[in-house]
Structure 1
Amino acid sequence: MSFFPMYMDISNLKVLLVGGGNIATEKIEKLLDFTENIKIIAPFISEPLREIIKDKNLSYNLRPYMTGDINGFDIVIIATDTIKIHKEIYEESRGGRIWVNSVDNKDYCDFIFPSYIKRGDLTISFSTSGSSPAFTKQIKNYFERKIPENIDEFLDNMKTLRGEIPKGRDRMKTFKKMVKEYMNKNFS
């Protein structure tokens, strides 16, 4: 079965990242686009991840994962080399309402990280539900080249106008016209 594509606000959720290597660093970089409410637990933390922790003032424990560490967290990302730890954490999470992502272990995932493009308020995600991360990366790169550099400015303007123009048919017509003009100018 495929994963349901869903966008959700995680800014007020508590995130635990178990692992401190290159993959953990990649996950942190993605998470930081959406929240800084992240704690890291790992017996080793790579230098790039240490820099991120210092720069963003993130909380961390330099030790192995211990049973009970997931208590109080809403989301747990497992980015370790030990499949046994992935399984243990996933099984432990089943007793609560904790969403788990186990890197490269779909069987221990409640959700996956899609590949995505984020430009201001525009977020476009791509996924093959784990079938081919290489394809996902290529199609993301293709679309990334197609998005105009001024998309942030356009969307900021649209957001401002949504707050200024009263709701109704006239507003819908105005926005439809503006979007059509922008698309014709930038995507033709």
Structure 2
Amino acid sequence: MRAPPVSGVFEAPYPVVLDLVGKRALVVGAGPVAARKVAGLLRAGAHVTVVAPDAVSEIAEDPDVRWHERPYRRGEVASYAIAITATSDPAVNRQVARDGNAANVWVNSADDPANCAFILPSVVQRGQLQVSVSTNGRSPAMAQWARRRLEQLFTDAHGAALDVLAEVRAEVQQARGTSEVDGWTDALDDHFFDLVAAGELDAARDQLRRALGVDGEHDPTHQEVPS
């Protein structure tokens, strides 16, 4: 459960993006909601274990999921890096949250903010571009509304634009020793995104290079794309 801040003042949660590649994740519960949580964890590269007496087919038949066909055992969350509960039993949710708090394991409880150490935002995904919305657990409906608006604003072209930006960023790092140079704000104008949307990626790259002052300095054989 969420611990009170040391100062007694709480304004907003601290937003982060977690790298879960290769990390052990526990999902308690195996219904439709749990299946969506499992799918998200798998997309993030986590090794997922599910604990529940019964499971929907999406979980039971997934070879990438380790399913323990039994109830949650007190304290077992301590073996994982992160945990999500998606059960209809408030007592189970509370127990997992308490165990997680005692073991310093981050726990999210679906539709149960009181037993959450972290909140899952509503996300728009376009390639490697992720745009998330959170209401601090106060209104999932508003978070979903905001996500729908963002889905209209951000298109697949923005995901492609991110790939172009990463490529040119690598060139800037190679040429200047750092990507922290002037010009990025001016380079990302409507014309740049229009070029990407039209599939004119070479022209989009050249616009970035000119704005960043590395035009003519790039190595066309350089393929490194930083994370």
What TM-score, normalized by structure 2, do the two folds share? Answer: 0.73
Q: 3-state SS of the aligned residue for 1:32?
A: helix
| Cross-structure match for 2:114 | 107
The alpha-carbon distance between structure 1 residues 185 and 140, as it changes in their structure 2 partners (threshold 3 A), is: farther
Give the number of equivalent residue pairs.
183
- For 1:36-115, what aligned pairs fall within 5 Å after superposition? 36-51=46-61, 53-54=62-63, 57-115=64-122
Which gives a bigger RCO, structure 1 or 2 (Cα 8 Å, sep 6+)? 1
Larger mean Cα displacement after TM superposition, 164-173 or 114-123: 164-173
CA distance in 2, matches of 1:71, 1:131: 28
The one of 28, 37, 40 aligned to 1:30: 40
CA RMSD of aligned residues (A): 2.3
Q: 3-state SS of the aligned residue for 1:158?
A: helix
Larger mean Cα displacement after TM superposition, 108-117 or 162-171: 162-171
| Contact 2:29–2:51 (CA under 8 A) maintained in structure 1 | yes
**Identity over the aligned pairs, expressed in percent?**
25
Q: 3-state SS of the aligned residue for 1:172?
A: coil
Structure 2: 5+ residue runs without aligned partners? 1-9, 198-227
User: Offset of 1:3 from its aligned partner?
Assistant: 2.4
User: Offset of 1:169 from its aligned partner?
Assistant: 8.6
Amino acid at match of 1:34: A
When Rg is computed on C-alpha atoms for both structures, the one with the higher figure is: 2
User: Offset of 1:83 from its aligned partner?
Assistant: 0.4
CA distance in 2, matches of 1:123, 1:58: 25
The one of 119, 138, 145 aligned to 1:138: 145
The alpha-carbon distance between structure 1 residues 47 and 170, as it changes in their structure 2 partners (threshold 3 A), is: closer
Deviations for 1:35-73, whole angstroms, at most 9, x for unmatched residues? 23111111111123334x23xx22111111112321320
| Contact 1:148–1:186 (CA under 8 A) maintained in structure 2 | no
CA distance in 2, matches of 1:169, 1:94: 39
Amino acid at match of 1:28: V
| Contact 2:160–2:196 (CA under 8 A) maintained in structure 1 | no
Q: 3-state SS of the aligned residue for 2:21?
A: coil
| Contact 2:29–2:50 (CA under 8 A) maintained in structure 1 | yes
Structure 1: 5+ residue runs without aligned partners? none
